[in-house]
Structure formats: C-alpha cells, structure tokens
Amino acid sequence: MTADTRPRTALDLIAMKAAHRPIVMLTCYDALFARLLDSPDVDVLLVGDSVNQVLAGHENTLSATLDQMIYHAAAVRRGSRMLTFVDLPFLSYQVSVEDAIRNAGRVMQETGAHGVKLEGGRPMAATVSALVERGIPVIGHIGLTPQSVHALGGYRVQGREADAAGRMEADATALEAAGACALVLELVPTALATRISQSLTIPTIGIGAGGGCDGQVLVLHDMLGLNEGFEPKFLKRYAELAGAVRAAAHAFADDVRSGRYPDAKHSFE
C-alpha cells in the first residue's frame, strides 16, 4: 500500500475489506515510535490500555485511566498523521451511555484521534450506536476482553464451546448492526474467527485469532522483542531489541568507566 492510499477514516477500513486488502495495525503509546511507524507499511495505530502493563508494569489493564489514555493518545498524534484509535479504559464507558459519550468525546477533542475502541458484545451495542450517532467512530472488541479478565478466568482462548461460539457470533452481528467500523477478535479459535469474518461487511482485526481475519494487530513492544517474558503462542517477534538495549547500556558503561567517553569528538572546545 502506498502512502496516498493508506486509510484516513473509519470508512476506509470497510473499503479495505471490500477490496480484500489486509489491514495492518500496531499498538503504540508515544510520539517517538509513532514517528517511526508513520509509513506506508502500517495502516492504523491503536493506543491501547495495555500501556499500563507494557510501560507501567501493572498486572492487567484495569488501572488505566481516561487521563492516562488521553496523554498517550495525544503524544501518538503529535508523532503521526496516521489513522489512530484509542482504547476507552475500564469504567469510562460501562456505567452509562452518557458517560461513554462524554468520555469518548474528550478523547476525540483532546487528542485528535479518529475514533475509539471499546470491549464487549451485545451489552455494548446501544453504547456503540450512541457514539456512532454522535459522530464518533468505534472499533469493537470481542473474544478475550482484557478488561473482563477476572470474570473470564484469566487470559485464555474464548469460544471453544459451541454455546460460547454462538454467543460470539451474535455479539459480532450486533456490533456491526450498531455501527462499529471494525472488530478486534482476540484469542479466538481460527475457524470461529474465520466464520465471523466472512459473515460481516466490516473488517475483523485479529490477535491470536488466526489468518482468516481481515487484518492483524500486535503490540509494538512485543513485536520488537522488548517485552521479555511475554511469550504467548500467537506472538511472532520480528526483532530482538531487548538484547540490543542491554548491549548498548553495557558498551556505554564500559566507555564511561574506561575514560573513552566522552572523547574529543563528543566534547566542546
């Protein structure tokens, strides 16, 4: 995909599905990495509430706040012109539709993002509809929904049983009918994710959902090999930067202690 054909609005994502063009999404949290990713290779940036795990060291996403998401989303937007969606954090949209409208509106107004993402199936359909009716594009998220990790019994594949698979298919249909522009499918059996993808006119973006989805998303730090110790089956590392960081720190320390740095080249007369 060339620079002038990258998606610029939520409707472009639907057009990409119709054209059978796979969607490439990466989760990003800051301006520096957003600048590096602002290229024809990546279609969409997601500012995920996983920031609280990846950068802040928390056990799960539940402690992420709206102000925190706005801070990181604004930083990403300063670094990139790309289509950008932002996770609505836990309890910023579940309490009431009014809360959801107010908080999603803040995200759009204060960050310049192009839309929001929220978790949940049919119980969230009315909320999705209310946001879309007010001009806020929404990506849905079903399967493993990290904000419900305690209710789901941990981070595990969802929809293996026939009843659960049927509920997930109904959730996907309801979110599409409510006006969602795309769906993230997380930790879903390949056959089920493929069936859902084929049944919808909006695209699905998979993470641990197999190759039958209309696109794929990974967290940038995981994909780069920076998040050591996180090794789920679905994750493919495209670099091993944790070792490079350690090697660079070791070389710097060695130069400082030996007096090689700073040398004349790196000093001022």
CA dihedral 51, 57, 60, 66 (to 10 degrees): -40
Q: Which residues contact 150 (CB under 8 A, 6 or more apart)?
A: none
| Bridge partners of residue 184, in order along the sequence | 141, 205
The per-residue pLDDT for range 76-120, each reduced to its tens digit, is 999 999 999 999 999 999 999 999 999 999 999 999 999 999 999
Percent pLDDT > 90 in the chain is 97
pLDDT classification of 5: cutoffs 50, 70, 90: confident
Radius of gyration for the alpha carbons in the chain, expressed in angstroms and rounded = 20
Q: Kindly tell me if the per-residue pLDDT of 1 is higher than 60.
A: no
Residues acting as catalytic residues:
186
Q: Kindly tell me if the per-residue pLDDT of 203 is higher than 50.
A: yes
Across the range 42-47, mean pLDDT stands at: 98
pLDDT of res. 4: 58
pLDDT of res. 120: 98
CATH of the structural domain 3-238, one choice from 2.60.120.200, 3.20.20.60, 3.40.50.720, 3.20.20.100:
3.20.20.60
Per-residue DSSP letter, 6: S
Outline which parts of the chain fall under CATH 3.20.20.60: 3-238
